Structure 1
């Protein structure tokens, strides 16, 4: 025998892609430079969906915390990416500054995540809207709306942002309620203001454009702490109503109403937040006043049922979001980020402080969804390791 012949077994392409779909976006970004066929495959709808489904299945959650250390124009809101590694749980990995929102004291409000994408909006000048994929580090500033306004406007303001996904059209959409203000003079020559919400606008990422849609005829209130997009619907509380929710179907683009749970909580004494709880619509109630806080969570699964009730926890201000195993992030009365373990009723201080009521926590899974925007570097977005 003159020599041995070494054989090499080629793995089927789909098998290789299934393995790659289990990796982090950071690793996939490196592999784009290694193999051009892989790079092309990472952009296909099949791979993007498979990668996102694997992250959901394995509960691979990431954490972004929006916060500010003051309440003036010199105090900039920024995001901190928190570590989810077991040995470094909730330590700040790096801080992220978004220059697009730096001139707005309370900006940006956060909607989402939806398939790993966040929607950011200036709460005063609502036409300043951007989509952000923190995993691929892609950022897209939405174009200004071309929807025609009524004549004689004094000014226009924007309310109740909603962001979600149309699974039928494979499209991400943004909904904004528009408030138009008119002025006129009465017989005494005094200026009279009329302020009413009478337009709703819808943005489509696929067409990269805005259009006007049917106005539901009610004043809605957006959730400011939790994600109000759940399984193809966006939900808002109806202003002035103790028992109704407004919903928007992302596919049909139609509004409808449904009842809130009969919680026995008066909205004069309790805040209400709508949220996504494990893929179901949830409502959390917590007191407006007092240091002795309680929290009730109701979940809609055919009918409203109370998921849990936490009574008399001292030193807490408001809920911020859920973590794995039902743990709840909260802001303490000392403006510290804390984690509450419902199973053992135990609070854990995470050592992160911010100015009162500026903290907003976002839990998301990584996604390769493209935005047809620009890179963070091109938008001058700055990421700095904690401590720099």
Structure 2
């Protein structure tokens, strides 16, 4: 009996079985919602099955993975093959598998290996990315930090730290080609095919981190983006920009990157009332939006019907991602 149990345990933990389970047609997508509340700084992570989105208003069941020190979550990245990266305001980081409930705390970030010892040095800005190396199937977290020196009145060269799950360690280096000051936070998952993407502060640029080679790339966008706001997201398994002009009425254009630097407008919606931003797409072609009063809603691009997905305390940050259960192990 022990031999049989050992065999089955080995089978379901094999990379082949894990990959088949993730892509099985019965492994339905769920909705992962992260809210960061203005009042009190509390956070909420909620998972909803697909069936909920076709029914009545969502009843949020807040869930924060252990340890309890993560009662406040400021950043959620992913999911990537069912794993989620979480960062809080106390500089604690973890990887989380909601399906297996496994949690892995990441080692703390350090700067001692680089010449940044000035007492007037301050961390001015930072940004995270999370993805998978397609050549090794290893998961990586990248953090880019920008430091300013008040006494010297200089910027230090950005410090890049890359965490690898298999080694459970960080590698650090400096990079002149990228800065956290040039990008904005994503409101949904923007990892695709070995690259993690950030939208630029300037709407005419998108930046990418090559997870395999650990290098940064800059991608041009159409000139029309210059006059619009926008959020990066995935749309039908492609990288897309949900561009909009926000005013009394808001129009949303979905631009898909079909090849690097080649953008095609696929959908144009509006003008519509009471839209704060577009957050990403659902598998039915519907689009998640944040309304003017900071509530989550689902927009039908064909009928322009907006269905509110349930009341939520006003949030400073609202993120949504499509999630599938995974058997990927963290230990």
- Bucket of the pairwise TM-score, normalised by the shorter protein: 0.7 to 0.9
**Does structure 1 conserve the Cα–Cα contact (< 8 Å) formed by 2:157 and 2:176?**
no
Are positions 1:305 and 2:264 aligned together?
yes
| Local SS of the residue matching 1:46 | helix
| Local SS of the residue matching 1:94 | coil
Report the counterpart of residue 18 of structure 2 in structure 1. 48
**Does structure 1 conserve the Cα–Cα contact (< 8 Å) formed by 2:132 and 2:139?**
yes
Give, in angstroms, the shift of residue 169 of structure 1: 1.6
**Which structure is larger by alpha-carbon Rg, 1 or 2?**
1
Report the counterpart of residue 145 of structure 2 in structure 1. 178
| Local SS of the residue matching 2:207 | strand
Tell me the C-alpha RMSD between the 2 structures. 2.5
Residues of 2 paired with 1:353 and 1:323: CA distance? Answer: 20
Report the counterpart of residue 245 of structure 1 in structure 2. 206
Give, in angstroms, the shift of residue 214 of structure 1: 4.8
- Taking structure 2 as the reference length, the TM-score comes to 0.87
Report the counterpart of residue 301 of structure 2 in structure 1. 342
Gaps of 5+ in 2: none
Report the counterpart of residue 172 of structure 2 in structure 1. 212
Residues of 1 paired with 2:45 and 2:268: CA distance? Answer: 31
| Count, aligned residues | 319
Are positions 1:60 and 2:28 aligned together?
yes
- Taking structure 1 as the reference length, the TM-score comes to 0.75
**Does structure 1 conserve the Cα–Cα contact (< 8 Å) formed by 2:183 and 2:207?**
no
Q: How far does the alpha carbon of each residue in 1:29-65 deviate from its partner, in whole angstroms, 9 at most, with x for none?
A: xxx9x944322211111111111121xx557101122
**Does structure 2 conserve the Cα–Cα contact (< 8 Å) formed by 1:67 and 1:77?**
yes
Give, in angstroms, the shift of residue 348 of structure 1: 1.1
Residues of 1 paired with 2:56 and 2:173: CA distance? Answer: 44
Map 1:41-120 → 2, pairs under 5 A: 41-54=11-24, 57=25, 60-68=28-36, 70-73=37-40, 75-85=41-51, 88=55, 91-92=58-59, 94-98=61-65, 99-102=68-71, 104=72, 107-120=73-86
**Does structure 1 conserve the Cα–Cα contact (< 8 Å) formed by 2:59 and 2:310?**
no
Q: How far does the alpha carbon of each residue in 1:134-182 deviate from its partner, in whole angstroms, 9 at most, with x for none?
A: 1111111110134524221433355221100002122100111112232
Give, in angstroms, the shift of residue 115 of structure 1: 0.6
Report the counterpart of residue 203 of structure 1 in structure 2. 163
| Local SS of the residue matching 1:274 | strand
**Cα distance change on mapping 1:53 and 1:213 into 2, 3 Å:** farther
